[in-house]
Structures are given as C-alpha cells and as structure tokens.
Structure 1
C-alpha cells in the first residue's frame, strides 16, 4: 500500500507499507517496482515493512538467508535503513526479534529518532516511531562530517556483514564483488556518520509519523 503526499513545486513524498511473507522472496517484486518508480520519478520514499528477515545490521540476533538477500538488495539500491538499536519489533509467544524495517531514500528526505515504543499495540508487532524531514529540492543543506563518525559502529557493521563469495571464478564475478565491497563500505559509513543539517533561519518542513506494522 502506498500513499503520496504532494507539496509545492511538484515535490512528492511516498509512504509505503509492505509485508514480506516468510515463504516468498525478499524483497518481492512489488517493493522493487516501487523503489524503481520512486527513483525514476525522483520522488522521496519511506517504506515500513514486516520483512520476516534476520540480519544483525538492523538489530536481529542472527542472520538468515532472507536477511542476506534483503541486505544485498538494500546495498545495491538507493535505500537507507532507519532502524537503530536492537530492541525487538516482534514479540511472539516463543520468540522475539527485529523483523520490521523502516527504509527510505536519502533524496530530499531524512528519517530520524527511530525507536520502538513500549505502548501496547495489541499485536505481536510493536509500534515504531520516527520523524520524517522532507526537504525542498533547492534547500538541501545536510552534510556528513567524517570527524563525527562512530568508527566502533563502522567496524562492527563491517564485521557482521558477510562478504560472499570470497573466491571469484571470472572477471565479471570479481567486478561484482568489488562493487558490493565498495557499496558496503559506503553504507557502513553513512550509518556510522549520520547527516547533519546546516543552521539556517528557515527550518525545513517536517512531519512526525508514528507507524504500526501489524497483522490481524
């Protein structure tokens, strides 16, 4: 499900809700098409998803095949992961884990103050709260200061990220491996060094969003 918020100067912010069945591919075709459409039309995009995928990068206790598949797609796409910490988003009768992801494109949008709420949701999935800052195309003032990088987090992300395959049988496979490695370094840096906004008299418009991802 996708809704569009239209602003001035033909700017559009898309909010998507996506469920990934545990017996289907991660991500599924619908999400891929949504990301491709947003990129083609230069729309900002925020997606909340019950991914049913495990990966330590977004706080899960372990890594499974679905998690590796989804994380590889995120690295190769324009998506960023808003999740912070290891607080479980799913609490079931026999297990708990981080299964819900908040993904966004860094084009003209920032997702901040992401957290799992303790408010009862009457579901096995918990409420997630975050702020969305939607910036005008001609007022893009955020930047990353390498001096503020959390290098411990950077090294931790890389140590928990599987870089496979480690052996390459062709030049094509080697080039793909190099591309994945470089993209992983960039993603780790972006997560370890959050963007900072310049101080300006005019504040960018923002929306506070509380999202609940749950199933009956």
Structure 2
C-alpha cells in the first residue's frame, strides 16, 4: 500500500470541509490536496489534519495541503504563494529514506499567466535537487492542453485515479488516487499507560542485580549509567509490547443518523443523474448538511461539559488560543538565500540560537580526555552524600507527572516511579559520583 491521497476544490464551503475531514480520518488517508478551502478571518478552518499553506501572502489562501501527522514534512516557502503550496515529504520505506515534493495548486480561470511561472520555478528547483514532484491542482482548463504522446513509468506512479462517490458538499467532487512507493513500513507505537507494571517490576528486580553497584570513577560511572538505562528500557519494552497503528481513526461527532443520510443522499444523487430530477437530492443534501452542523455542536458541547479538571481545561484553552501556523520551512542563510534541504536549515537554527557550540558525536563511547577532572577528595564525597540521599531522590522522582514526555533516552517518569524502591539505591551512587567528579555521564 502506497500513500493514499485525495484532491478536491472545497468552494469555501464549511460542510464540504467537514465531510473531507471525516473521510480523511475514517479511511486513514495520507495527503489531501485542497483548493479554495473554507476561510475565516484569513485562516483556514474546518479541517482536522496538519495543514500547510502560505499565510504570508496578501489575500486569502486558495490552495493548501492536509497531511497525516506521521509523515515528516518540510514546507518550501520560497516557492509558496496563496495559489500554490509545495512541501518536501520524507518517507521511510524498506529501501531506506526517500524524499519527494508534493504541491497543491489553484490556477485561476481569469489569470493571464497561462504558463503559471511559479510552478515552472518549482519544477526547476526539483530538477536541481534531484527530487520528484507530484502536483495536484484545479487547473480551470476548458480544453485539452496536454502535449504528452505516451505514458511512461513516472506517469504510472499515479494509480487508481477516480472520482469518489462520496457526497462532498461542494460543487466539485472528490478525486482519489494512490501514489505507488516501495512498501511503506507500518507505524508502530507503545502505549505507556497500558504497561504491565507487575511484569516490569519483576524484570527490574531480576536484572538490576547484574548492574555494577561500585562506582568510584568516571569510567565506572559511564558503565553503570548505560547498564541501568538498558535495564529500564528492556524491562519496559518487554512489559509494553509494540502495537501496529490501526488504519482508521474515529470522528467523535459522527453517528448512525449521519451514515443513513449520507447513504440516502448518494442514492438520490445517482438517481438524479439518470432522470434529471434534482429536487429530492437537494432536499436530502440540505438535511444532511443541517444534521452535520447539529452533530458537531452537540459533540463539542458534550466534550466541554465532560472537562472535569483544571489541567484539561487549560490544555484546551491553549489549543484554541494557538494560531495554527505552518511548520518551519527552509530558512534564509546569511546571504539572504533560502537553503534547499532540511539539514542546512537545522544548521542555521543551531548557529543562530547556539553560536560557537560544539556538536558532540552521538557515538562517543567513552569520556574524552579533556573532560577528565581531578580525583575528588574526602570533602567532595561528604558534600555529595549530604546532597543526595534516598528521601530527596524519591521526592524528586515522584514530583513529576507519570507520563510526562521522555528525553532522548525514552525513559519517562513512571518508569522510575514504579520501580522506585529497586532503582533508587543505584541512582544514589550515580548522582553522588557525578557530583563529586563534576561530570555528567553521556547516557
């Protein structure tokens, strides 16, 4: 299965945006190429996925891309405008990582630029960087203008192209197609709250005795930290097996009545195409639209009434107050030119916010000689013992929210809290040695 895509001109309709969002979630689609989205105060509304569009140009955006959060995306702002939105997507397949450029385009029917120069500039950029480009657009064409004489392998990358039977709530129909790539790897994840904590603590108690407990210098400190990290991580992975992400996502406001109305509206649409009588179809379409609005209002009201604590209410407030802007795209360098790939953009961010910083290789297996300090004396060890003891370490561990996001090591607070009694003695030795030597372990 490749990337599942859809394309539609929403005609600025709220109901059409709602129907598209429901289908995008239910059928686990990957990319939606959208033209003329629903706009409120120059902001795109009514769509539930990650949105990419140009918010810096004057006028309302007439093109955008809605993309699955699991796909790594880098916007290309130097080629974006209100009618064209390009982005680089990164895909991890069985053949390794690959990149391509996707683009949603709206070609205005009254435009004098029939060649649409911005799109040609984007094509030239893809040629320079060696990336393939996939463009989905509303061309407003009134006659055949294609000059192709055959279909080559690249053309065959788009398969299963067809008009959807879905009632779109727009005067345009949804277009579905698949982009064929080499076997996309399934998405896997672990659900920390589903961890079998009894199994986790049992494995910790059996394996932590193999960790070195005598820590007196930097080398033994590094070994102990690596050993404890591996013990915790292995126990967690065994107690919380990976799950494969399901292919569908539930739309909270969808209900059985809407399903029946959608089926009825489809039938009446097909019947109207045959006999030319559109009265029943329009009546059903109006009822379907009205019921969607009612279902969304009632679902939102129920959701708000179910908020029972300050933390959840504050989180919803932050989400609603946030201005949903684009991801960070390709940035300008000191010469005023935009970079053409992600790593160079990250280097600009690093040089700007952390000037003169030194990157430590991730494969550094042992402390570098310049980090080795003078051996601590008796007073250093006394201060370390006074500062780190069982009571304050347990207090510090238990002060965190259990499922707070982990760092690079993947260890979140609950892993320490559940195994507190087993892990704390070793943590005491690690903290005391680290403080006495004035050295932070690499792991």
Which TM-score applies when normalising by structure 1? 0.38
Going by fraction, where is helix more abundant, 1 or 2?
2
Structure with the higher strand share, 1 or 2: 1
- TM-score by structure 2 length? 0.20
Larger radius of gyration: 2
